Amino acid sequence: MQFSRLRKAYATTVAVDDVTFEVRPGEVFGLLGPNGAGKTTLIRMLIDIIAPDAGEIRFDGRPLGRRERELIGYLPEERGLYRKEKVIDILVYFGMLKGLARRAARERALAWLARVDLPGVASRRADSLSKGMQQNVQIAGALLHQPEILVMDEPFAGLDPLNTVLVKDLLRERRDAGALVILSTHQMPMVEELCDRVAMIDRGRLVLYGDLEEIRRSHGGSAVLVGTDADLSGLPPVAGVERQGALKKVVLSAGARPRDLMALLEERRIPIDHFEVARMSVEEIFVATVRARAADPALPPVVAPAAAGGGA
């Protein structure tokens, strides 16, 4: 699925500005960004609720149309159910809107309710269910027609640990079945655990894009973990030192590389028993990227090498 030079402006703001990236089948793709970055607008353009001012989205080489729309399973961030209706009726309706026949929709609805640990709620009204149960019903509704494109906006919000594991399993299942899974979330540990590749949007622009491992690797050179009793804070390539368990986390100054510090330690014969290039967490990368953009909005996007075929 190619997002090509997408742009969407509202009355006074540009919500999405010249964004280009690609999502591949069989991967979980993380769509990240701070609040108000333009993620929801991007998703709404994908599911054709709003039309882009410029650019286009293509799936399998074709522009998204009615046929492709039926392949999408969508769990929006703003979500709910018809409160006064039976769960089974709601799911059958959702299934039929995705092109299933009534009987097939009913059978699948019952199967999916069992899959999300809600086998006995089919005849209950939606407003008689707990919030967590309602969320599971919504997830069942999004997966009912075995979508080839699955778009989930904050699917873990409000879930208990058991249901969180369940949803993670479901996402992996769809990915393993060859579906294209787009996950938008602020929960960075979930991104680290589930996503193969990510795109980060900030103020409508793509600021970070590519293979998650590559991104972490490319952000990994700015700090090292050193096992030593010596005071390292005065060394030229060192911007700061903080204790991290038995080790010291040394944050390097701008332009300095881990090998510069290693050479200096050898040269000054400072004894060490551990030297490791620190891997930044996704959360740290997220925060560092947003702060860097805030300081200098003109910075070009960071595109990890493995993001072939896309990028701004």
Partner 1 sequence: MSKVGVVIGREFLSTVKRRSYLIVTLGMPFFVGTYVALVGLLPAYFMSQAGRSQKPIGVVDLAGVIRLEEARVIGQEGSEAGKAARAIADRLAPATAQGRGVSALLDEIDSPVEFVPIASKEEALARLREGTLERVYLLPADYVEKGAIETYQSDGQVFGLGKARIERVFARLLRRSLSAGRLPDEVRARLDRPIDDEASSSFLVRPDGAVEPLEDAARVARMAVPGVFAILLVMSLLTSASYLLQGVVEEKENRVIEIILSSVPPRDLLFGKLLGLGAAGLLQLFVWVSVASFATSLLAAAAMAILDWKLFLSCFLFFVGGFLMVGSLMTGTGALGTNSREAQQYSAVWTLCLVLPPAMTWMLILDDPNTWMARALGWFPLTGPLTMMVRLGTGKVAAWDALVALLCLAAGVYLAIRASAALFRLGLLMYGKRPTLSEIARQLRHA
**CA-CA distance, 264 to 270, in Å (whole number)?**
9
Length of the chain: 312
Nearer of residues 125 and 257 to partner 1, judged by Cβ: 125
Nearer of residues 50 and 277 to partner 1, judged by Cβ: 50
In angstroms, give the least distance from the CB of 296 to partner 1: 32
Nearer of residues 77 and 173 to partner 1, judged by Cβ: 77
In angstroms, give the least distance from the CB of 142 to partner 1: 8
Residue 153 backbone dihedrals phi, psi, to 5 degrees? -105, 110
In angstroms, give the least distance from the CB of 43 to partner 1: 9
For residue 36, list its beta bridge partners: none
**CA-CA distance, 76 to 90, in Å (whole number)?**
16
Number of Cβ within 10 Å of residue 300's Cβ equals: 7
The contact set with partner 1 (CB under 8 A) reads 10-11, 44, 47-51, 66, 69-70, 72, 74-76, 78-85, 89, 93-94, 96-98, 138, 141-142, 151
Q: How far is CA 231 from CA 73, 185, 254, 270, in A?
A: 55, 40, 20, 9
In angstroms, give the least distance from the CB of 136 to partner 1: 15
In angstroms, give the least distance from the CB of 75 to partner 1: 8
**CA-CA distance, 91 to 105, in Å (whole number)?**
7
**CA-CA distance, 22 to 309, in Å (whole number)?**
7
Nearer of residues 185 and 222 to partner 1, judged by Cβ: 185
Nearer of residues 51 and 162 to partner 1, judged by Cβ: 51
